[in-house]
Amino acid sequence: MKTSFKINTLSELKTISLEIINLMKENKIFLFYGDMGSGKTTLIGEVCKAIGIDHHSSPTYGIINQYLSPNFGDIFHIDCYRFIKEFEAINSGLMELIDENEYCFIEWPEKIQNLLPENCVRIHLEVQNNTREITFNL
């Protein structure tokens, strides 16, 4: 299934975040694709805020951030941007999170594509002029 949204302002991300929350009822792994500055971290932040996580930050340097949601439990935000080889993802502990069926929001998943399970929600963010197109692939 493929669903697309076009948004013009950041305030519209709230609607998109609610769509992601609905998908969290049956899915645990969410992959966020998009160029630098396309809004991956911002969208994940909106989802976190909507599920009761007060503090959210980009895990670019720490690679994995863990948050606690009152409704969903542990949420792991992973940024694979700095991975050069797939074994770095394995050494980071990421595979254990996936294997243990934890909620994972993964940025730059193309860096570890061969390690990911098939049953992921793929979210593509694309900037076009002053709009963003956000596409979900289930």
Q: How confident is the model at residue 62 (pLDDT cuts 50, 70, 90)?
A: low
User: CB neighbours of 87 closer than 8 A, spacing ≥ 6?
Assistant: none
d(CA 21, CA 19): 5
The whole-number pLDDT of residue 26 equals 92
More confident residue, 124 or 86: 124
Coil vs helix vs strand at 137? strand
Please list the helix, strand and coil fractions of the chain in percent, rounded to the nearest 5, in that order: 35, 30, 35
CA 110 from centroid of its chain's CA atoms: 12
Q: Show the domain range for 89.
A: 2-137
CATH number at residue 121: 3.40.50.300
Count H helices, E strands: the chain? 4, 7
User: Stretch 45-64: mean pLDDT, rounded?
Assistant: 84
Q: What is the pLDDT of residues 7-54, one digit of tens each?
A: 998 889 999 999 999 999 999 999 999 999 899 999 999 999 999 998
The alpha helices in the chain, defined as continuous H runs, are 13-23, 40-50, 86-92, 94-99
Domain count, the chain: 1
The whole-number pLDDT of residue 61 equals 63
Q: What is the pLDDT of residues 73-121, one digit of tens each?
A: 999 999 999 888 888 888 888 888 888 888 999 999 999 999 999 999 9
